[in-house]
Amino acid sequence: MSLPAHYQNSIDRLSRQLPSLLGENLYSCVLYGSAVRGHIVDKVSDINILIVLNQSTPDAHTAIADCLEDKIHIDPFVIARNGMERSFDVFAIKFRSIKRNYKILAGEDPIKDFSVTDERVQFLAEQALRNLRLRSVNTYIHQRTNIARYTRFLLNSYTALFTYVGEIMRLAHRDVPREYADRIPLIHDYFNIDTAILNTLESIQDNPDQVTAKTIPQIHHDLFLFLNGIVCWMEETW
């Protein structure tokens, strides 16, 4: 799937400028997320990049900041090569997700040998979904009248929710489709849970303007019940 021209132009610019600005300190630059999966939503989606530095320093961070100034929001995940194994462990599900769909823009492949135990994935998935449930409550309480901020929370939660729920199903050796929309009926059947909120989040990705002061209470209701149902499933099953 081809990307919108301005997204592709930004990615091409990153591929040229990051090696030039960082020089030998750049170990690797990896494109991942919707730009690789083919889920780019024009004017909504970010460009996700993993940047691995030989030495993570303030000067390097300044160089990255200079490079990332763009009309399109670029979301960098910056780590140092030193201690990378610990980063793998702490962010194991993120790296597991990246490893399924990524493209090397510059340097070496930093995750070709990455692996993680099922026990670690289980712990991190439960931790993340409990945290998302907590944040859904806090965000609604504090931001229910701030439509822009609540919408941003929903947009940011979209990928995380599908990622962590997908990892739970993969632990049971279930085939998880690449397209998020195709996962929804499987999630419904696997967890025996109402998945209407997932269709809503899919729709919000395409049209964030549908989040209004009138729709936010129902969105919160459906999102909380879904997250609470997943957490209760984990408590009963694990």
Look at residues 48, 51, 73 and name the one whose alpha carbon lies nearest to residue 60. 51
10-residue mean pLDDT series, the chain (238 residues): 82 93 97 84 81 97 88 88 95 94 96 95 97 98 97 93 96 93 96 97 93 98 98 97
**Coarse DSSP helix, strand, coil percentages of the chain, rounded to the nearest 5 percent:** 65, 10, 25
Q: List the structure tokens of 114.
A: 């990455």
The predicted model scores a pTM of: 0.84
How much is the pLDDT for 171? 95
If phi > 0 it is left, if psi is from -120 to 50 it is alpha, else beta; for residue 192 that is left
DSSP per residue over 41-70, as a string? -TTTPPEEEEEEESS--HHHHHHHHHHH-S
If phi > 0 it is left, if psi is from -120 to 50 it is alpha, else beta; for residue 38 that is left
How much is the pLDDT for 1? 57
How much is the pLDDT for 73? 82
User: CA end-to-end span of the chain, whole Å?
Assistant: 39
